[in-house]
Every structure is written in C-alpha cells, then in structure tokens.
Structure 1
Amino acid sequence: MQFKHPEILYFLFLLVIPILVHLFQLRRFQKQYFTNVQFLKELKMQTRKSAVIKKWLLLATRLLLLTALIIAFAQPYFNANDTENSSNEMVILLDNSFSMQAKGSKGELLKRAVQDILENTPENQQFSLLTNTGAFWDTDSKSIQKELQNIQYTDVPFRPDFLLTKAATKKPNTGKDIILITDAIGLDNKTTSKLTTHSPIYTIIPEAENNSNISIDSVYIAQALDNFYEIKVNMQAYGTIKNEVPIALYNTDELAAKTVVSFDTPKQSVVFTLPKADFHGYVTVTDNSLTYDNTYYFSISQPEKSNVLSIGTDAKNKFLSRIYTDDDFNFTASELRTLDYNILEKQDAIVLNELTEIPQALTTTLKSFYDKGGNIILIPAPDGSIQNLNSVITNFGNAIYNTQTTTERQITQIAFNHPLYRTVFEKKTKNFQYPNVSKSYTISGNGLPILTYADGTPFVTSFTNTIGNAYLFAAPINTTNSNFQNSPLIVPTLYNMAQNNNKTGVNAITIGASKSLITDVLLTKDEVVTVKNKYTEFIPMQQVLSNKVKLSFGDYPEKAGNYSVFKGDNKVQNISFNYTRNESNLALQNKNILRDFTETKSVATVYDAIQSERTADELWKWFVIGGLLFLLIELFIQKFVK
C-alpha cells in the first residue's frame, strides 16, 4: 500500500490526545453519604468494573476513528497491475476490405464496427485509426465521425503487419495499445507476423450470420458466329444457395438480357448471345450477401483482323493459310530471302516456320517486336542449328533447346487452364487421339507448358512479358515428322496463338493484377492518354512503342467499372476493370491465427479492461467508511454500555 500524501501520516501523533484524556480524568467525584450503605457494597463494585470496560472501549474506538481519518486524508492506494503500458498510445486497425460487407446480427460488419468505435470511445480519448487504405493520426471519435461513417470498402487486402509497421514508423519510441477489428478472412502467418505480444493486442472479430455468397468470376467469348458472339459467364457459389438467382446483362445502362440460374453445383455458367459489335457494359447477379463480386464489367471491341506473317518456304506455309483465313486474319507468307523487314512491326503475330537459320538481324527485330506486345511462334527445323535456336529464344525467356532425339514421342497432356485453351474445351478431355512426332528436341527452362509429351517434357511451351507472348514448339510439325497437322488441336492452338487480345475477345482487367494494355495510338512528345468514365479519370503509366502505346495500371483505378482510353477528347478504346475475387468465400475465416491475443466483444470492453488494469486501487473511501463506522460504535457504547 502506498500514499499520495504520506506527510499527513505525521498527524498520527495526535493519537496521544485521547490517550491522555483517558489516563487523566479531570472530572472530580463528590462523596454522597447515606444512612445505611451496607446493601450497596456489591452494586458499587459492579459499577466500577463496568466503567473501566466502557472507558477502554471508548478509548479504542476513538483511536481507531482518528487513525482512519488521518489515513484517509493521506489517500492510500494499491499500484495498478499494468503500470509499464500506462503511457501507451491507442492504435485501432480497422479492416475495410470487401468481406466486411457481410451482414452480422446488427447489420454490415464494417458499419457496425464503426458505430462501436463512435459510441464507446470516450470523447477525450486520443487514438490513431488505420484502415486498409487510409489513416487518421492523433484524433478523437468526434473529429472523424463523418469520415468513419462514410468509409468505403476496398479491394486492398487487410495487412495488419503493414499497418502496424506504419504506425511504429510514425511514433517509433512510443508504446502501443492495439485494437484489431477484422473478420479474419484471408489472414495468415505472413499478414500477422509483426503482431507480437510485446504490445497489448485486443481483437474484435465480427462474424457474418450467413456464409453463403455468389461470385461472378469471369466472362469470355465461348463461340464466335457469323454475326453473333456467345458470351459465357462463369459463377461460383459458396455455401448453400437454395433459390434460383436472377442474372442480368447490361450494355452501358440498358438491359440486354436476363435469366435465372440454379446452383445445383457450386460452379455454374450462363450463356448470352450478343451481336458482333462494340459492347461496353456488365453482367450482374443478385444475392443477399457480398455485393462487390456480384458485378463483372467487360468490353468487347468490334472485331478487327489480326495481322499474321509466316516466314518459311511456300510448301511449309501452305497449311497455315487454311488456319489463318481471310475472315479473321490478314495472313502473309514470305520466304526468308525475300522478307521485307519494314512490315514486321505492323504484324500482330510472326511465325518462324522451320527456318534452318535465323539471321541476327531478324533476331534483333523479333526481340523488339516481342517487347512491344507482339506474339512469336517458333517451329524449329529438323536440320536446324541448336546454337542458333538458343540464341533466338534467350530473348524471350529462360529456355534452351537440347540435343535432338529420333525416338517417337506421343503428345498426351493438355494444359486446360493455360490462357490459350481456357475457352476452348467444355470439359477436360482425357481420351483423345494422341498426336506423335518422330524427331524432336527437348526444351528445358521455366516456360509454361501448353502441350506435353508422355514423359512430362513439353511439346509446346510459352513465355510472356504480360503484353507479348512467345510460343516454342519442341519439334517440326510438317507431315513428314508429325501428324499434328491432322490433330483437332492444330486449329485452336495456332489460331489462339496469333490472336491479338486487344483487337478481339473480352477486355476486362483485374485491378492490381499488373496487366498491361497495348493500344493503337500515335502520340507526339508531350501527349498522354487518359483513362476515364463519367465519375473519375486518371493517367496510367505509359510507354510509347512506335505507333502504339503500352499502358500499365498498377493499383488503378480505385473503383471497378467501365472506362475508356482517351487521346485528348477522342476516344481510342473501351476498357473495363474488376475487383479481384479473393474475399468471396466467407468460410475462409481464420480466427485461430489471432488466438494468442485478447479477444473481446466490443471497443467498450477494451477500454474497461485497460482502465481496470492501469488504474490504481484507491483506498481512502474505505477508511472514511471505517471512520464513520467507529463513530457509530462510539455512540452505541455511550448510549447502551453502562
């Protein structure tokens, strides 16, 4: 026990006064004579004995009364349990990711968490509040009330380790009390690595009442007819969806089609038919859970023919002309000796069709072509130089051709998830007529396999720089060496290799996916292109590539939607952006990752816990009560003890 005013304890010397009063009685007794007192002798002895007891009882109560009052004025107290963290600053880490849109017992999880902060934080309490995308430093609940009530959801994942590092950098030498408010969706050891027990950490983990959710994952062209596109919409259901769910297709803001879907299985697809024309809109589904993944924005430009150049002999180029028809391609075939280098940069795809030797000048041009977003298809010659081939492909990725083998090999595996085949197969096919090759090379490196031999080595592999693609065959595909030209795989493989995704197909970019876009626009030195819609605009990173511009978006735009690329006031191209679907599965809550910290139900509970642990236990009131009690005892003794 300690005292705030220990000097007052010197007044305990006053206890001598009641002792002196009781030891030296100043009152004088007068003798009273009676005619006959013999019968009073026994009574006189009892009265004198009672008076002595009463005197000592009164002395004890008065000493205790005076002692209690003196100690009360000295204000005794016991030290708080947690004195080391009494000067800590309060830091609130608030998760405002999309999964916090889920509804709990009192509404949306994020909105309820904000209300908890505003209602239960003392008005004079200073704190810093950090969200996934913003920060409020050294503020109070009243000052940021409006900002918190208008806080927006974000696709930026909740990273408490990053936010805590940010707070520590702001005040490096100050202790912290941390309140962590999150639904724990997507948390792992990496995201909580900086959350140590050196600082008091209180977790508030709101939970959704309904874990069911529907997400639109992708939209692509399933089939291109003469005048129409068949658009396939892929959806994923999490949890149990009992009722039919409406899904609608909008071109700009006009309803183009509507239907319903039943989720008998978690993955479902819906097909819509659209005219072969510009489309700039979205598809949307209605559910009673998260809303951020219910809409998928996409754009389709009126199809343009892709320019394809095949360099090889006329005999070997002949089969390509049957694939790259005039309906979809501007196909040109040229022998190496008559090649016009000036037309190379105007192509969308270049096929190196079994060239015995690839000259250095062509290699240099191909590297520039690839860096500017072109597609390169390399089919090796049966009698080519390995050294020459390797000097070419090192410009596209980490791969090398090894010594040719004459053992017959079968092509038995298809990478169904490769972008080349993602929209080709309705389902994975295991039994098909396996193509084979007589002579082939072995390709080693870190390319992405597309078609694979039975021994696991790639027959076709690919590299990408996010805007251009390089496709490497491991063997010649002429009819003498292989029956691949007669395989059903030949058309979708070479057809999709030559496609320019900026001219055909669905244009939909995931925000933050580091995907680039090549757009056909010619800029002068000081000109830039902008990306905008009716709500916002921004200038992306851009690199001029001859008569094209490479656009890189990073984490922009902040909101998903339909946008357009503008050069000044002239619209160049439509483009759409969507949020990543990382938080669609509400069953991925990982509460156990936070089990080492103190879990609470509300902000009020946190402040009560801190108050009780860091506030000294004041004892003066108990001594006042004790003094009053001794006073009552003294009065009782005076009245009832004779």
Structure 2
Amino acid sequence: MQFKHPELLYALFLLLIPIIIHLFQLRKFQKIDFTNVAFLKKVNIQTRKSSQLKKWLTLVLRLFALACIILAFAQPFTASRTALNTQKETVVYLDNSFSMQAKGPNGPLLQRAIQQLYAQANGTETISWFTNSQTHKDEGLQDFKAKLLDVDHTANQLRPEDVILKSGQLFSKSEGANKRLLWVSDFQGVGAFPEIPEDIKVEAVQLEPVNQNNISIDSVFVASRNSTISKLTVQVSSQGEVPISVPVSLYNGNELIAKAAVDFSERNESFVTFDIDATQTFKGKITIEDPNLTYDNSLFFSINTPKKIKVLSISGANATFLQHIFETTEFNYTAQTDTNTDYNSFTQQNFIILNEITSVPASLRTALADFVDKGGSLFVIPSKNGQLEEYNGLLSSLGAGSFGNYNEQEKKITQIVFAHPLYKDVFEKQVVNFQYPKVNSAYKFAANASSVLKFEDGTPFISQTGNVYTCVAPINSENSNFKNSPLIVPTLYNMAQQSLPLSQLYFTVGQANTFAVPVTLIQDEILTLKDSTSSFVPLQQTKATNVLITTTEEPTSAGVYEIHNKDQYLEDVSYNYGRVESNLQYADALNWDGARTYNSIEGLFDTLLEENSINSFWKWFAIFALLFLILEMLVLKFYKT
C-alpha cells in the first residue's frame, strides 16, 4: 500500500496523547466516610472493575477512529508500477492486409477489429497509430476514430521487423517512458517473429478466421500463339474445403467472352485454357466466385494490338528466300545490300539478318553491337569468302563465340532441339524420319551457346547466345539445301517473332515495374496512366523509339490502365495484387518471446485498464473512522458501570 500524502502519517504519533491520559489519570478523588465500611468496599471493587473495562474499550475505539481519520487524509492506494509511471506511450498497429478479409466469428476480421478499436478507445490522450498503408502520430481521439472508419484493405503487407522499426519511429526518445505497442493482426505469412527491443512491450492481438478455405486465381499466361489465335492458360489454386468444380469467367472489358470450369477433385491446383483473338486489343479480366478472400477472385491482363515486327536483311548473296518468309502482314521487311547499308535505320528494327556478307567493317560492328545492346535480335549467316577476323570481331563484341577453320566436308543436319523456344508448339511430336538438310562445308565454331539445330556429329549448325543467333555455314543453294527444308520457315519466323515478344500481360501492385511504350514524344510531352476513376503520371524516360515507364507506389489498385499521350490513347497496361496472402497459413503469436497474446481486442483493453487502475482506500478509512466513533458513543451511552 502506498500513500498520496505520506507526510500526514506523522500525525499517528498524536495517538500517544489519549494513551498517556488514560495511563496517568490526573483526576483527584475526594474521600467520604461511611459507617458500614465492609459493604462499601465490596461495591467499590465491583464498580472499579466495570469502569476500567469501559475506559479501555473507549480508548481503543477512540484510537481506531483517530488512526482511520489520519490514514484517510494520507489517502492510501495500491497500483502497479505501470500505473504509477506518468510517461506512458502507446502505439497501435492495425494490420489491414488482404488476408484480413477472412471471416471471423463476428464478420470479416478487419471490419470487426475496427469496430472494437472504435468502441474501446477513450480518454483525452493523443494516439499514434499506423497500418500497412498510412501513419498517424499524436492524433486526438476524435480524429483517430474518424480516420479509423476509413481504413481499407491494402496490397502492402509490412514485415514484422518493419512493424517494430516503424513503431520505434513513433515512440519518443525518452528512456524512462513506458512504451507499449498494441499489435492487431492475424499474423498470416509470418515466418519468424522479430526480437522485441528492451524498451518496448508488445501486446499482440491475434485475430483468427473461422476457416482456412480459399480459391484464388494465381496467374494467367499465353501458352502459345500464331497469327490469329492465342491460347490463354489460367492457373487456379485452392486451399481447405472447396467445391470440386469452380466456374471461371473470361471478360474482354465488360463483355463476357467465355466460361469454363476448373476441377479440384484430384489436386488443389488446376488449369483452364481459353482461345482468344490474337489480332486485336484485349482488356482481359478473369473472375471466379469465392466467399472467403475476395481480393484474389479477379485477375486483370491486357494484350495490345500486335505491332508489325521490323525485319532488316543485309545481304551479300541472294535474299529471295528471306523476302518470301517476311513479306507478310505480320512483318515490315526491308532489304539492304552490304554495299548500301543505312546504319541509322538500325534503331527502328527489331530483327537484323546478316546474309553472307563478305566484310564486316568496324562501323558496322559498332552499329550492330549497339543494336543488340538495346534489345534487338541478330542472325549471322557467314559467307564462305568472309573476312574471318572481322566476323570474329563482331561475335566477340557480342559475346557469341568465334569461327574457326572452314572445312570442306558434307554434313547432315539431323538433330532438332525440340525443347528450344524456337520450336515450342511447332511439332506435334518429335519427328525423326524426315529428309535431313545438309551442308557441303562449314566453319568450326566455339561458343558457350545453346544449340538450335545440330549436325549428325552433335556440333551446332545454328546456336543462340542471348539475342544473337549464329549459323556456322552459308545457306546459299551451292552450299546447302537448308533453304528448301521445311525447317527454315519456323526457324526464321520464330526468331523474328521473339525479337518483339508479347508485352507482359500484367504487373504487380506495389512493386517496381518497368516497361517500354513504343512511342516517340516531342519536347514537354508526357505519358499518363488512367483508369475509370483516377489518373497519374508515372516516372518515365524518353528514348529515341520508345518511352521507358517505371511504376512503384502507384497505382494502388488492380485493374486495366490506359496509357495516354495527352488525349491520344496508345495502349493498355494491367496491374494485379500479389498472391502471397492467398495462402492462409498463420504463425502462432503464443510462440513470440516477450510478447503477451490476446484473442480479442476487448481482452487486451480489459487487461490494460486493470494494470493502469489505481485503487484508492481513503473512503473506506473514513467510513471505519465514523463507525468507530459511533461505537464509542454507544459504549459511553449504554454501557453501564
């Protein structure tokens, strides 16, 4: 027990006064003579005993009454060390990540947590609090409650160590303050709990969903495509107890294009494929119906109108076969000779073919190296009479190997690397009994490269290093019949197709994403990203043939965004929320060393209220003092001596 005014306890020494008065009775008795002495002596003995008992009883009651009065004025109380500390600091962290959409016993976890915090928050002190997406320092109670109701789910999920770090920034630097972090979360996806600083107490409220069932659209990708059709594959996963068959809907904008169903009867991962038009812009959205987590029930993607692939051939030999392959609606084909080459046109190309030119001068090597460095693709077909040093200078600058001696030896091209991206979906099965093309002579070739086609001895005929493809032999009619082989069309066609790959279907909200928009801007022009409700200007870098866009904090919402140059629509880009929180696996806060754990916000505040309460007892002592005084009066009045 402690006292608010302990100096008043010195008044207890005053209790000695009635004790002294009682022990040393200063009253003088008067003697009176009586005749019957024996009788008076007997009465005197009885009277003195009764009177002595009454006096002692009165003294004790009076001492108790005075002591209680003194103790009441000293104001005794009991309290914990936390309650006595006048420097109390509290920071609240409310997890508003998407996993908090899960249903708890009384509704969605986040909404229920907001209601409980709103109801429990009281007092006049300011509050510092933060979520995964916003931070507020030293706010009044009314502002706290008003902004609390506006908290919504966010794609950003702070790591536990980031929460500790951020809370430390909201606490003061005072070493004597009692610092308490109220942590409200479901602790989804927490791998390991961080170490708690010595000057901070963590009160963890773990909100638990009633089940861990969920169905999510994980990804979508183009499995294959040709000039007219793209095969779109959707990956859907499940967790817990879910329906065996779940419908999946495909939209182009607001128009329903197709429906299919995924089957979870055998495993918790399934795929469904849609065929879509490859020649048009597609503002895609995949949807499912799942009542648990809703954020992963939709996935947006965009496929822009395919651009014509720009192909340039620089030839020192007959290039008619290239004209037959590339003069189609899909390509913009340009033919130049080795004696009339426009280096300035390289920046406009996607795919360049060196077709048996004799000399590769330094200026051409520099221009080609710059072209490849900026993302262009190159196919080198050597000439029998080519300047070997110049060819090797080019290949060396590209890190694509080197040519050796030229051997006059017939070789058959018998091995197709079916797993190579150039031949993906080209063959229904691995063909082994077709008429093999051949060459009459070829260069030896040394490179750390992946083979596309091989000779019968296992050495490469065509190999790939990055964006550079290298053929080891001339393919003119005198040296090879490869131009007449069925292999030449898919080989060169897919080289060109992959030089301008399909733009990424979607990006992830909250991550650093970079992509190029094929547009040429003039001075002071900027690109803007827009959806139906908002727009923003992303970080962008203007280049000669495109604009490089980087997005980080924006956009904050999933959807299909249009890219505009002022009022001119250019193309689309899509964003989706990450799917990390779709996996409903939770850490147990009871295993967190140093943290106290609660299963409800009410339980947390009840404990804090009890710890911060001060139990005062002065009223009880005042009541006891009055009681003792009443007892003294009753003794004096009714106790007969």
Q: TM-score, normalised by structure 1?
A: 0.78
CA contact (8 A) 2:96 2:132 kept: yes
Residue 263 of structure 1 is matched in structure 2 by: 264
Counterpart Cα distance in 1 of 2:389 and 2:589:
60
Partner secondary structure for residue 67 of structure 1: helix
TM-fit CA distance, 1:103: 1.3
Distance 1:165 1:588, change over 3 A: closer
Q: CA–CA distance in 2 between the matches of 1:564 and 1:50? A: 107
Task: Verify the 8 A CA contact 2:528 2:538 in the aligned structure 1.
Answer: yes
Query: Whole-Å Cα distance in 1 between the matches of residues 205 and 102 of structure 2?
Result: 15
- 2:559 is aligned to 561
Paired with 2:61 and 2:405, the residues of 1 have a C-alpha distance of 111
2:240 aligned partner: 239
1:101 equivalenced with 2:101 (yes/no): yes
Alignment partner of 1:534 out of 532, 535, 538:
532
Secondary structure (helix, strand or coil) at the match of 1:209 reads coil
Residue of structure 2 aligned with 1:471, choices 463, 467, 483: 467
Post-superposition Cα deviations, 1:128-158, rounded to whole Å, max 9, x if no partner, equal 1111121222113422333222222111122
Would the aligned equivalents of 1:443 and 1:474 in 2 still touch at CA under 8 Å?
no
- 2:299 equivalent among 290, 296, 319: 296
Cα distance change, pair 52–378 in 1 and its aligned pair in 2 (3 A): farther
Q: Secondary structure at the match of 1:137?
A: strand
1:154 paired residue number: 154
Indicate the SS of the match to 2:187.
coil
Is 1:582 equivalent to 2:556 in the alignment? no
Kept in 1: contact 2:350–2:496 (CA 8 A): no
Query: For residue 524 of structure 2, what is the amino acid of its counterpart?
Result: D
Separation (CA, whole Å) in 1 of partners of 2:405 and 2:238: 48
TM superposition shift of 1:562 = 1.5
Q: How does 1:178-189 map to 2 (within 5 A)?
A: 178-189=181-192
Higher mean alpha-carbon deviation, 325-334 vs 247-256, is at 325-334
Q: CA deviation at 1:563?
A: 1.5
Q: Does 1:388 align with 2:384?
A: no
The residue that corresponds to 2:138 in the other structure is 138
8 Å CA contact 1:311–1:353 kept in 2: the answer is yes
Between the aligned partners of 2:60 and 2:597, the Cα distance in structure 1 is 51
2:83–2:614 Cα contact (<8 Å) kept: no
Structure 2 SS opposite 1:573: strand
Cα pair distance change 1:590/1:303, threshold 3 Å: farther
CA contact (8 A) 2:401 2:445 kept: no
The residue identity in structure 1 corresponding to 2:583 is N
Identical pairs, percent: 30
Aligned to 1:5: 5
- Specify the code of the residue in structure 2 equivalent to 1:567: N
Equivalent residue of 1:217, what SS?
strand
Q: CA deviation at 1:560?
A: 1.2
Moved more, 149-158 or 352-361: 352-361
Return the offset for 1:295.
Answer: 1.0
Q: Could you report, residue by residue, the CA deviation over 1:456-490 in whole angstroms, capped at 9, with x for unpaired residues? A: xxx9787xxxxxxx435698588999x99969995
Deviations 1:56-89 (A, max 9, x none): 2332232122112102211234563237964132
Q: Contact between 2:316 and 2:358, CA under 8 Å: does it hold in 1? A: no
In structure 2, the CA distance between the partners of 1:589 and 1:306, relative to structure 1 (3 Å rule), is farther
**What is the aligned length?**
609
List runs of 5+ in structure 1 lacking aligned partners.
Answer: 394-398, 454-458, 463-469
Counterparts in 2 of 1:72-151, with a 5 A limit? 72-78=72-78, 80-82=80-82, 86-151=86-151
2:312 aligns with one of 309, 313, 318: 309
Give, in whole Å, the separation in 2 of the partners of 1:611 and 1:361: 81
Structure 1 residue 524 corresponds to structure 2 residue 525: no
**Unaligned stretches of 5+ in structure 2?**
407-413, 437-441, 455-461
1:215 aligns with 2:231: no
Instruction: Please list, as runs of the form range in 1=range in 2, the aligned pairs for 1:358-373 lying within 5 A after superposition.
Output: 359-366=361-368, 368-369=370-371
Q: Is the 8 A contact 1:132 1:157 kept in 2?
A: yes
Tell me the distance in 2 between the aligned counterparts of 1:262 and 1:36: 121
Structure 2 distance, partners of 1:85, 1:378, is: 77
Alpha-carbon RMSD across the aligned residues, in angstroms, is 4.8
Q: Normalising by structure 2, report the TM-score.
A: 0.78
Aligned to 1:279: 282
Residue by residue, what CA displacement relative to the aligned partner does 1:166-193 show, whole Å, maximum 9, x if unpaired? Answer: 454456524532111222123345xx65
Matches within 5 A, 1:378-457: 388=393, 392-393=397-398, 441=446, 443=448
Please state whether the residue corresponding to 1:576 is helix, strand or coil: strand
Matched-pair contact (CA < 8 Å) for 2:105–2:209 = yes
Q: Write the distance in 1 (CA, Å) between the matches of 2:514 and 2:232.
A: 23
Which position in structure 2 is the counterpart of 1:546? 544
Matched-pair contact (CA < 8 Å) for 2:312–2:335: yes
Does the 8 Å CA contact 2:382/2:474 hold for their aligned counterparts? no
Distance verdict in 2 for CA 1:342–1:497, change over 3 Å: same
